[in-house]
Amino acid sequence: MIEAKLKENNEGVLAQNNQMPVDKKAKSSNPSKVYWKVFKTSPLGISGLVILVLIIFAAIAAPILAPYDPLTQNITQRVQGISAEHWLGTDAYGRDILSRIIFGAQTSLTVGLLSVLASGVIGTAIGIFAGYKGGKFDEILMRIIESIMSIPMLLLGLMLLVALGSNMTTLVTALSIGLVPSCARIARGPALEIKESEYVKAAIASGASSFRIMVVHILPNIMGSLLVVVTLNMASAIRIEASLSFLGIGIQPPTPTWGNMIKDSLSYLTTAPSLAIFPGLALMITVIAFNLIGDTIRDASDPYIIRKRG
């Protein structure tokens, strides 16, 4: 009787054990999946992403999307308000504002992307190299970086554009130089820390060269924070480009940019404020979108926030 009961008990335990989940396959912690998970749960991040996708789409499909040619002037229809033909009205030369804003997105994104890419690559390389090599290299490189940092980006842009002439290449160069310090400083810190780690020593002990350690071990470890900086840099690049164009030394008319559109609207600010408001809105929304995305990526690289959101 007792034996039977014991047996029953044992079987019960066994059955229970069998139902236990058999060591689920280790959960994949692929970083891109983590990012996506955080984005999914963040309404702000998602809206930033949606806006960005729309802007990129508008920029790429500008020739198809824009109802009018952005450069065609029509003096008879100058400074008009919102209407069925011109959704956002026309400017002082009778050009369609909506079309100009859509084409302006091309300029803004191109300038932003190029300068962010260039500064990202150069800045990261400098930062990692300075941090890893240390000593004299570090001292010299970081003093150069600091001296660049001490010049406001707008001023740097002004100087270079005035000295070398206003064109796209100079503009991108100026912005790239201005953005290098942020990337270099972000890259240097972790490089300093990681080069002391045991796994770097182990990598050296297994025959890895300095270059390999910088690229294979250090770079991926700073990708997260670098992505945040690069996204936020994109916002500043677009903002500075607009400021320079607004000052009349950035991208030259007639090429539409949001900055020079706002500048052109200045004389009509009291009579037709829509001329300034719409490109201003476009600029604002774009900058906010990049900031929202940057913030969300930062959250995604913060383990505490990930844990809190489950």
Partner 1 sequence: MVLDVKNLSVGLGTKDNQKLILNQVNFSVKRGETVAIVGESGCGKSMTALTVMGLLPEPVVSLVSGEILLQGKNLTNLSQKEMNKVRGKDVAMIFQEPMTTLNPSFTIGNQLGEIFKIHSNLNSEEIRKKCIEMLTKVKIPDPEAKLKVYPHQLSGGMRQRVVIAMALACNPKVIIADEPTTALDVTIQAQILDLLVELQTQFNTTVILITHDLGVVAETCQRAIVMYAGQVVEEGSVEELFEHPQHPYTKGLMDSIPRLGDARGKLHVIKGSVPDMDAMPQGCRFNPRCEVATDICRKEAPELEITSDGRRVRCWHKL
**Interface contacts to partner 1, rule CB under 8 A:** 25-26, 28-29, 197-199, 201-210, 212, 216-217, 220-221
Q: Which is nearer to partner 1, 7 or 201 (CB)?
A: 201
Q: Which is nearer to partner 1, 1 or 26 (CB)?
A: 26
To partner 1, the closest distance from the beta carbon of 173 in angstroms equals 33
220 prior amide bond cis, ω within 30: no
Q: Which is nearer to partner 1, 64 or 205 (CB)?
A: 205
Q: What is the C-alpha radius of gyration for the chain, rounded to an integer number of angstroms?
A: 27
| Tokens found for residue 140 | 């010299």
Q: Which is nearer to partner 1, 21 or 75 (CB)?
A: 21
CA distance 234 to 52: 12
Q: Which is nearer to partner 1, 109 or 222 (CB)?
A: 222
To partner 1, the closest distance from the beta carbon of 203 in angstroms equals 7
Q: Which is nearer to partner 1, 54 or 202 (CB)?
A: 202
To partner 1, the closest distance from the beta carbon of 170 in angstroms equals 38
To partner 1, the closest distance from the beta carbon of 307 in angstroms equals 14
- Kindly give, in sequence order, each residue whose CB lies less than 8 Å from that of residue 110, ignoring residues fewer than 6 positions away: 168
Q: Which is nearer to partner 1, 125 or 203 (CB)?
A: 203
Q: Which is nearer to partner 1, 3 or 198 (CB)?
A: 198
To partner 1, the closest distance from the beta carbon of 86 in angstroms equals 53
To partner 1, the closest distance from the beta carbon of 221 in angstroms equals 5
To partner 1, the closest distance from the beta carbon of 206 in angstroms equals 3
To partner 1, the closest distance from the beta carbon of 174 in angstroms equals 34
Q: Which of 94, 88, 91 is nearest to 73 (CA)?
A: 94
